[in-house]
Amino acid sequence: MEKSEINKGVLFFNTGSSCLLRLFVSVFSLRRYYDGNIGVLLNSDDELNKEIEKNLTLLNVQTYYFNKPELNCKRNGGYTIKPYVLSQSPFDHTMFVDSDTIFCSKVSDFFDFIEKYDLVITPYKDWITTGRKINGRIMRFADLFSPEELKKIIEYKFAINTGVVGYSKNTKEFFEEWVRKTFEGQGRFIVDELIAQCICYKYKHYLADQTWNYSCRNIKFDTAKVIHFHGRKHARLHRCQSAMIWINTFIDFVNSGVIDKEFEQKIINSDRQVRKCKIYETYINV
């Protein structure tokens, strides 16, 4: 297959309304650097789907649907279903990105990694599996793995983050285990990430450098290609100086008028951290 014929795209997924503003801001930032396919997988049961689809179309984004599987857990359901949702990508080559991100660069190199290696994983800063925090997180999943497996998991060395993942259709075996093991550990905090951490050593992959999933906890951002805000840190200036990068992108998004104003206000109101910090009043109504 010629390179130009590969069906490739950047993929997001969404459930509920709490991350919708971050999703739209991230897509807006991506469109500054990328005119290719962008897809968003939506939970088929969400009430806002028609409005979401209509407004994503204004950013030339394709929408797809998934049926949320039944879970036995009351908490952390989003982490549990993430591998299952990602496995339903409509693209042959997928760059999956969490919604709490800002793009600062073209993504063509990342697709080159996928084409060459099939599976692309990104690290979390310079943290390692023998470090106190990551080692402790891994051990909370020790019941799902044998002692021999745990030894190999720790020997992998690099701590990973699933906020940015690349994969082709050739990663079926990885996804089958990732989905199965994640459901076995369902309800646990960041279960998707820790299961990926625990099984990735088994599968051929490329570990991209951290600039492709650059933590907002860093200090300098001149080399960042994708900044990851880890949940609600996008609007917490007292915690991360990088929050101003997100806020400036948010301002540009609002001023662009690219989506329906009524829907825009609805998703602003649904973002608890933005509402709590009164970002709209402080930076837009001036």
CA angle, corner 106, sides to 249 and 157, nearest 5?
Answer: 95
- What pLDDT score was predicted for residue 252? 94
- What pLDDT score was predicted for residue 4? 46
Task: Give the Cα separation of 160 and 126 in Å (integer).
Answer: 9
Among 277, 284, 272, 275, smallest CA distance to 248 is for 284
Average pLDDT (145-157) is: 97
The model's pLDDT over 158-173, given as tens digits with 9 standing for 90+, comes to 999 999 999 999 999 9
- What pLDDT score was predicted for residue 66? 96
In this predicted structure, the answer to whether residue 28 has a pLDDT above a threshold of 70 is yes
What does DSSP assign to residue 257?
Answer: T
CB–CB of 244/45 below 8 Å?
no
In this predicted structure, the answer to whether residue 2 has a pLDDT above a threshold of 50 is no
- What pLDDT score was predicted for residue 272? 81
Among 215, 194, 202, smallest CA distance to 173 is for 202
Among 41, 196, 37, 58, smallest CA distance to 107 is for 37
Confidence of residue 280 (pLDDT cuts 50, 70, 90): low
Q: What is the percent of the chain with per-residue pLDDT over 70, rounded to a whole number?
A: 92
- What pLDDT score was predicted for residue 1? 35
Task: Give the Cα separation of 115 and 94 in Å (integer).
Answer: 10
- What pLDDT score was predicted for residue 236? 65
Average pLDDT (59-77) is: 91
Confidence of residue 238 (pLDDT cuts 50, 70, 90): low
- What pLDDT score was predicted for residue 3? 45
Confidence of residue 237 (pLDDT cuts 50, 70, 90): low
In this predicted structure, the answer to whether residue 30 has a pLDDT above a threshold of 50 is yes
Contacting residues for 41 by C-beta, under 8 A, at least 6 apart = 11, 12, 13, 14, 63, 64, 65, 66, 85, 88, 89
User: Residue with structure tokens 């952390």?
Assistant: 76
Confidence of residue 286 (pLDDT cuts 50, 70, 90): very low
- What pLDDT score was predicted for residue 77? 85
Residue of 285 and 29 predicted with greater confidence: 29
Average pLDDT (254-268) is: 94
CA distances for 43 relative to 17, 74, 85, 205, angstroms: 11, 17, 9, 29
Structural domains in the chain, sorted by start: 7-283 (3.90.550.10)
CB–CB of 107/26 below 8 Å?
no
The model's pLDDT over 81-101, given as tens digits with 9 standing for 90+, comes to 999 999 999 999 999 999 999
